[in-house]
Amino acid sequence: MSFDGLFTRAMTKELVENLLHGRINKIHQPYKNEIIMIVRANGKNHKVLLSAHPSYSRVQITNESYENPSVPPMFCMLLRKHLEGYIVEDIQQVDLDRMIIIEVKGRNELGDISYKQLIIEIMGRHSNIILVDKERNMILDSIKHISPSMNTHRTVLPGHQYVFPPQQNKKNPLEVTNEEVLRPLDFNAGKLDKQIVQSFAGISPIFAKEVLNQAGIGNPSSIAEAFLQLIQPAKENTSSPTLISGDKETFYWIDLKHIDGERQAFSSLSALLDRFFYQKAARDRVKQQGNDLERFIRNERDKNVNKIKKLKNTLKEAEQADYYQLLGELLTSNLFAVKRGMNEISVVNYYDENGGSITIPLNPQKSPSENAQNYFSRYQKAKNAIIIVHEQIEKAEEEIVYLERLLQQLESASTKDVEEIREELEEEGYLRARKQSKKKKGNVKPALENYISTDGTQIIVGKNNKQNDYLTNKVASRDDIWLHTKDIPGSHVVIKSNHPSEQTIKEAANIAAYFSKARESGSVPVDFTEVKQVKKPKGAKPGFVIYEGQQTVYVTPDLDLVRSMKN
User: Looking at the predicted structure, is the pLDDT value of residue 387 above 90?
Assistant: no
Q: Report the pLDDT averaged over residues 152-158.
A: 93
311-348 pLDDT per residue, tens: 988 887 777 788 888 899 999 999 999 999 999 999 98
Helix H or strand E segment including 174: none
Q: Report the pLDDT averaged over residues 302-313.
A: 92
* Class of CATH domain 5-142: mainly beta
Mean pLDDT check: name the lowest of 51-55, 79-83, 281-285, 354-358. 281-285
Contact in structure between 162 and 119 (CB atoms under 8 Å): yes
Identify the pLDDT of residue 508. Answer: 97
Identify the pLDDT of residue 442. Answer: 54
Cα–Cα distance measured from residue 179 to residue 177, given in angstroms and rounded to the nearest whole number? 5
Q: How many CB atoms lie within 10 A of CB 150?
A: 10
> Which residues neighbour 484 within 8 Å (Cβ) at sequence distance 6 or greater?
490, 491, 492, 493, 512, 526, 527, 547
Q: How far is CA 501 from the centre of its chain?
A: 31
Q: Report the pLDDT averaged over residues 277-304.
A: 82
Contact in structure between 255 and 263 (CB atoms under 8 Å): yes
Sign (positive/negative) of CA torsion 433, 439, 441, 446? negative
Question: pLDDT-derived band of residue 443, with 50, 70 and 90 as boundaries?
Answer: low
204-243 pLDDT per residue, tens: 999 999 999 999 876 788 999 999 999 999 999 999 999 9
User: Looking at the predicted structure, is the pLDDT value of residue 437 above 50?
Assistant: no
103-144 pLDDT per residue, tens: 999 998 888 999 999 999 999 999 999 999 999 999 999 999
Helices (H), 152-266: 178-182, 192-199, 205-215, 220-235
User: Looking at the predicted structure, is the pLDDT value of residue 86 above 50?
Assistant: yes
Contact in structure between 307 and 300 (CB atoms under 8 Å): no
Mean pLDDT of the chain: 91
Identify the pLDDT of residue 140. Answer: 97
Location of each CATH 1.10.287 domain in the chain: 289-411
- Percent of the chain whose predicted confidence (pLDDT) is above 90: 70
Q: How far apart are the first and last CA of the chain?
A: 32
Contact in structure between 404 and 301 (CB atoms under 8 Å): yes
User: Looking at the predicted structure, is the pLDDT value of residue 247 above 90?
Assistant: no
Identify the pLDDT of residue 183. Answer: 92
Q: Is 128 helix (H, G, I), strand (E, B) or coil?
A: strand
> Which amino acid, one-letter code, is at 317?
E
CATH topology of domain 289-411: Helix Hairpins (1.10.287)
Helix H or strand E segment including 122: none
Q: Exposed e or buried b for every residue in 84-116, given b needs 16+ CB within 10 A?
A: eebebbebebbebbbbbbbbbebeeeeeeebeb
> pTM of the prediction?
0.65
User: Looking at the predicted structure, is the pLDDT value of residue 43 above 80?
Assistant: yes
The three-point CA angle 555-559-560 to 5° equals: 110
Identify the pLDDT of residue 439. Answer: 47
Q: How many CB atoms lie within 10 A of CB 141?
A: 19
Q: Report the pLDDT averaged over residues 163-173.
A: 91
User: Looking at the predicted structure, is the pLDDT value of residue 304 above 80?
Assistant: yes
Residue in 529, 530, 512 with CA at minimum distance from that of residue 521:
512
User: Looking at the predicted structure, is the pLDDT value of residue 553 above 70?
Assistant: yes
Mean pLDDT check: name the lowest of 19-33, 46-60, 126-140, 345-359. 345-359
Location of each CATH 2.30.310.10 domain in the chain: 5-142
Question: pLDDT-derived band of residue 435, with 50, 70 and 90 as boundaries?
Answer: low
501-532 pLDDT per residue, tens: 999 999 999 999 999 999 889 899 999 999 99
User: Looking at the predicted structure, is the pLDDT value of residue 440 above 60?
Assistant: no
Question: pLDDT-derived band of residue 99, with 50, 70 and 90 as boundaries?
Answer: very high
Contact in structure between 351 and 327 (CB atoms under 8 Å): no
Question: pLDDT-derived band of residue 94, with 50, 70 and 90 as boundaries?
Answer: very high
